[in-house]
Amino acid sequence: MGSKPKQQDYQASGAEKASASVAMAEYKNFKKKYDPLLQEMRDKSLTEDVTSGLRGRANADTMQALTSQPSYQNTQSNTATGDMAQAYQGQLGIANTSGKDIQNKMQTNVLGTARGQAADAQTGMAQASRLGTSQALTRAKANQTVRSAKASAIGQIAGAAVSKFGESKAGGSGDGYASKFMEALAEQKRAGGG
């Protein structure tokens, strides 16, 4: 039978003792400096209301995009209000999702850091800065642009017709262009196209 191992066979070497001493010093330093910060981050992640800030920003983005150039046509449009409501709801949905995502990542970062993993410190700010425009907001802005372009085109055509009508009354070409144009507009309106 073999002999039992001797007690000195179980003792740590000088290198192992030095390594353990350095690790213990780093652990104590981490606990002293970063534990209070981690606890503060934990509390903040549970109580901070990121979502309401993002919802406020979504509201501002929607209103700035859709009401920055008020026009009579937009006040009279029967689709403008629906477009704005859709865009607003879409932006709020993005804000709600982003806010919850930021809060979850903040909480995960605290847990990860406590376990020695790297934290994603920029996630919240990056997410907030990328609060995208919803498809509804983009569509509403496009509809608003189309309405403005149509109104502008109608104004230009009407101006040209009045000018032409004035020429014919003043002894111009007399080709009846203005009256034909006005009749065509009236016909289109009766047919429901205007």
- pTM to 2 decimal places: 0.48
Helical axes 14-47 vs 80-114, angle rounded to 10°: 150
pLDDT of residue 171: 57
pLDDT for residue 130 is more than 60? no
pLDDT for residue 5 is more than 80? no
In Å, the largest CA–CA distance within the chain is 134
**167: exposed, middle or buried (C-beta count within 10 Å: 0-12, 13-18, 19+)?**
middle
117: left (phi over 0), alpha (psi -120 to 50) or beta: beta
pLDDT for residue 148 is more than 70? yes
pLDDT, tens digit, for every residue of 84-124? 888 888 888 888 888 888 888 887 877 777 666 655 555 55
Burial 20-31 (b: 16+ CB within 10 A, else e): eeeeeeeeeeee
Average per-residue pLDDT in the chain? 76
Per the CB < 8 A criterion, the answer to whether 194 and 154 are in contact is: no
Quote the percentage of the chain above a pLDDT of 90. Answer: 1
Residue type, 67: T
Per-residue confidence at 20, pLDDT binned at 50, 70, 90?
confident
Angle (CA) 173-177-180 rounded to 5° is 150
